[in-house]
Structures are given as structure tokens and as C-alpha cells.
A and B are shown apart, each in its own frame.
Chain A
Amino acid sequence: MNAVAIHGQDLVKWFGEESNRTYAVRDVTFDAYFGELLYIVGPSGSGKTTLLSMVSGILRPNEGEVLVEKTALWKMSSNELASFRLNKVGFVFQDYHLFPRLTTLENVALPLILKKRPWHEALQQASKYLEVVGLLDRAQVAPVKLSGGEQQRVAIARAIVGSPEILILDEPTASLDGDTGRRIIEFVKSNVLNEKRCILIVTHDSRILEFAHRIMRMEDGKVTRVEAGAGRA
């Protein structure tokens, strides 16, 4: 088995005041490994996204800790957390959150620009990743002119352009038809996943479960089961 990329220990997250507290995540402990495609699956409101947010340095847990390569995430300052997200994590949001006023290429280059790479160097690097996702010919097009599948690929290119070790995909197939969704996950597994990268996918789309190495099922904020996935590409 590969090295542990992420270790979540006794994670608890609640919202609201003490008298009216709602638990989103309760005592979740889990590991995610490099080279692994780990699915977090569960019904709406089961705490998947909350768990993902805590793991990616976006949402502070009320209890517990997240270790990324043995570094405690929630002991970091807000600037260190921002730096962690920029350098270690790639995000593919459910609604992509591409910038409609920027070109596709500029959207992909955003993480590099945030890393203070020179503008032209960032665009050059981004164009390589657009090529990887097969959209180099659409580089100067505004994202709104792309199809849903193409936008998803742009979002993936943006997520991996900074070579993050952890890739987080939130409901990546929610807005896509079945075939496109499968092709996207196939593409991620065969082109993006490698031994130095861990990919976490939050989904309740059963059509793509077959690609998972492991599936972590959640319900009511708790991990109910971790099972091996079919893992085939």
C-alpha cells in the first residue's frame, strides 16, 4: 500500500448554537493514500462536503485534526492554510466556478497566477494542461461557450495545473449526462491520477462508482462503511 496522503482523526463538525446544534460530521477517522481514487459517497446531508472541506483546509473542524503528510492542517495560520490549498490541493467544484470574463486558458492559469508565476509563463504552462484535457483549440474561448463536459475538463485542468498532491472533486458528474460523466472520470483516473497524487471524489452518482479504488460511505455525519471499489478504468 502507498503512503498515507491524508489522515483524518476524530473529526467533528457542528453548526449552530449549543442549544440548537446540528452535527454535520461525527467522529470520522479515515486515511487516504497516494495513488488512490477514494470516493466519499452518501445521501444528501450525510456530511460528505463538510468532511471534504475540513480535509482541504477550507472548514475548521470543531474537534479532531487532519494530517496531510504528517503535517497538522488546523494548527496552521490562515495564510499558511491558503498557501497549503494553493500548493497542495486542486479543486474541481460542482458548478466549476470558472470565470466567464476570462478565456479558458486564463481560467486554467489562475492557480499559477496566484503562485505569482509571470503572466506569460503561467499561460504557457496552462496551455500544456489544456492540451492534456484536449481543449487546446478552445484556449481563447470564453468558458460560457463551452459545453458542460468541456467546462468540467477546464475545471480539471485548472485543478491540476499547479501539480497538487491532493485533488478534490465535488460531485464532478452532477451536471453531466451519463456518458460524459463516465468519460470525465475515466479521463481523471487514467491521466490525472498517479503515484504521487491522491484523488477524493464526493459523489452520489452510482454510475461512476466502478472507477473507485475505495468507497467510503457516510450517513448522518458518520462513516458507515469503507469498502474496496472495483477500481477498473
Chain B
Amino acid sequence: MRGLVIVAFKLLVNDRAKFAALLVGITFAVFLMVMMTSIFSGILAKSSATVTNVGAKVWIMDRSVTTPASSIPLPDYVLDAARSMDGVRFAVPLYSSAALVKLADGTFQPVTVMGLDDSSLLGRPELLEGNIQDIYAENGFLVVKDEEYPKLENPQVGTVLEINDHRAVIVGIAKVASSGLFGLPTLYTTFNRALQYLPNTRFTISYILVEPKSLDAIPGIKAQVDKLGYVALTDDDFIKRITDFYIHKTGLGTNILLMTAISFLVGLSISGQTFYTFIIENLERFGALKAIGARSSELVAMILFQAGFAALVGYGLGVGLCTGIMTLAKLKIPDYASIITYQNLALALGMVVIIAGVSSFMGVRRVLRIEPFEIFRS
């Protein structure tokens, strides 16, 4: 069979025009599919950045919260109640809000300020420079060094910023797993300092972070929080809620799905038609092979190999092209929201397999139907 595979390979790649057209079709389809789904994944990852970066197991919030940025302040009694619930090891408040930082040149830069529980600092980021204890120093703030960091003019440890007419001193430079969706730099401080620096509503707790005694305790905690009229979500639940919001409430999911489907159809039509033409042009040769003594199964294997090979090369080129363009885009636009995930790759691969399958199915049908007798009669 190896010899026939080589023959199939040569028949395919030596027909350069057809092979190029096939590759262009599949590459283009894969590029669009991966690009679309990667943008979606990027948006989801960035929109879930707070959840990922803080890393709490259970989050208590208002039932109406859809994304971390749209937190609804919780009354203090919810925190007290949470701390007394069965299965809760500890519960701490988290503050999250936007603020304006006045830069040295007098311009203002919006930032996200995260206020960590003063005693535990639960959800603190990993430090690249500085000492975490310095967050307790007067006016102490940590700055996250991510794509948005240059917007604060690359502050160093000791840099003084101005937040709402308050002096803020950078005492540490941190890194996080993911930066946010809206292109804002992030500052961390203690919960109480955040309240001092920023104007507040009556209730001040954005989220309550809960450490359960065990994973088995989580359903019980959820039920107890539910009785209070609020909702407790695991980090995965919260990310799913965010994902659902973007998919179902923003139209983003529908648009991405539509674009992915269109990409698939474009790829299918270009590749299917080209491959079918390739088969039709070689139909007499397949018939001759059949007359010489090739079995139908061998011809089918040749066609499947050709379709599969073209699909995989096109897939590789498409993913490579997508990666290249995303890399270039991120060089120019640091907070460009696009991430290639294994799921995106698997989805695109699945669709490419379908494209190859449909294309080869049409070809196989024609080849199986051709009678070697027709070769004699031609």
C-alpha cells in the first residue's frame, strides 16, 4: 500500500495548480475558523481574567452579576453570614472598581483597582519585584506588569501615582495569568485602603471569596448562600456564567458561530469543488488503474490519502498563518484579545476532516462508479 500512497501523493502534488487551489481553500477556511474562534476565546479569557487571577474556589455575588466588571456591592452581613456557614474555612471580601490615575504629564488613565482582604491578602498576584508585606506600607499599591502596564508610563517600585487626589506609591510589580478585556491597567492594594481612596456606595464588598473546608462542602455552601438571596459560584461556574453572557446576551457568540460556519462553507465549497475537479480530471486514469487490477478499496484509500494530506497541510498552513497574524497583531496591539486554544484547534481540525470527508466522498463515488470497460470504449 505504501507504493500506492506514493503514487497518490505524486498525482496530487505534481498537479501544482490544483494542489495550490486545494491548499488555498483549506488554508483560508482554517485561518478564518481558527481566527474567529480564537478571538472569541481571547475575549472570554480576558473577560474572565479577574476570576482566573484571583483564584478563589468559591465566589459569592449578587444574582444579577454577569461579568466580574459588573459587580453589585454586597452588604456586610452577607460576609458575616458566609463566615458562619457550614463547610466554610474562611471568607474574605474583595473590592473591585475603576479609578482614574493622574499621570506625571497631567493626563488621566483609567485603572482597575483590586482591594484584597487586609489580613489574608487572598487573591494576591505573584510579585516580580518588591515585597508583598509592603502593600501594608503607607499608600502602598502593587502594579500588574501586563500589556496595559505601559499605559501607566511603566512605573517602577517607588513611583508615585495620584489616585483621586490621594498619593499612591508603587511598592511591588506583579504578574497575573491574564489581563482584562477592557484594556485597563490593574493596581492591587488592601481592601480598606481601596475604600479610602475610591468613592463608594453604601455597600462596599464587590465579591466575597470563600475557601471551603473541602470540595464536598461546596454544594452546601451554595444552598446556604441561595437562602440569603445571593449566589455562590465556583470559579468554573463563574467563568461559565461569563461565557454564557457573552454568547447569549451580547450576540458575540452568534456572530462568531456564523463567521465560523461561513468559513467552513467557503472552505468546503472551494476545496470540495477543486478536489472533485481533480478527481474528474483523473477519472480515466483511475479507471485505467481499475482495469489494470487495482481494487476499489485501493482506489478509495488513494483518494482518502489525497484528501487527508491536502487537508492536513492546509490545516497546518492555516494555523500557522493565524498564529503569525496574531503574533504580529499582538506586537502592534498588546491587548489584542485572541488566544488559540486546544479546543479551537480541535474544532478547526474536526471541520477540516469534514471538508476532506465530503470532498473525498464525492470523488470516491465517481471513482467507484467508473467501469474499466469505459476506458476501452473511450
Contacts and interface: CB of A to CB of B under 8 A. Distances in A.
A114 B10 contact: no
A97 B284 contact: yes
Contacts of A86: 292-294
Contacts of A97: 284-285, 287-288, 375
Contacts of A225: none
Given A119-B3, A122-B3, A83 B293 contact: yes
B108 interface: no
A165 B3 CA distance: 24
Interface in B351-378: 371-373, 375-378
Contacts of B15: 101
Interface string A153-192: 0000010000000000010000000000000000000000
A101 B293 CA distance: 20
Contacts of B372: 53, 58
Contacts of A106: 7, 10
A21 B378 CA distance: 22
Contacts of A101: 10-11, 14-15
B7 A110 contact: yes
Interface residues of B, number: 30
Interface of A is mostly: helix
B10 to A, nearest CB: 6
Contacts of A194: none
B202 interface: no
A199 B287 CA distance: 22
A158 to B, nearest CB: 8
A113 B285 contact: no
A117 B15 CA distance: 25
Contacts of A59: 371, 373
A155 to B, nearest CB: 10
B279 to A, nearest CB: 13
Contacts of B291: 56, 58, 85, 91, 93
B292 A111 contact: yes
A93 B3 contact: no
Contact of B295 (A52, A82, A95): A82
B6 interface: yes
B332 interface: no
Contacts of B377: 49
B3 A113 contact: yes
A87 interface: yes
A85 B373 contact: no
A99 interface: yes
A117 B127 CA distance: 65
A111 B1 contact: no
A79 B3 contact: no
A50 B371 CA distance: 13
Nearest to A48: B376
A93 B375 contact: yes
9 contacts: A49-B376, A53-B372, A58-B376, A85-B293, A91-B288, A97-B284, A99-B285, A116-B3, A122-B3
Interface of B: 1-4, 6-7, 10-11, 14-15, 284-285, 287-296, 298, 371-373, 375-378
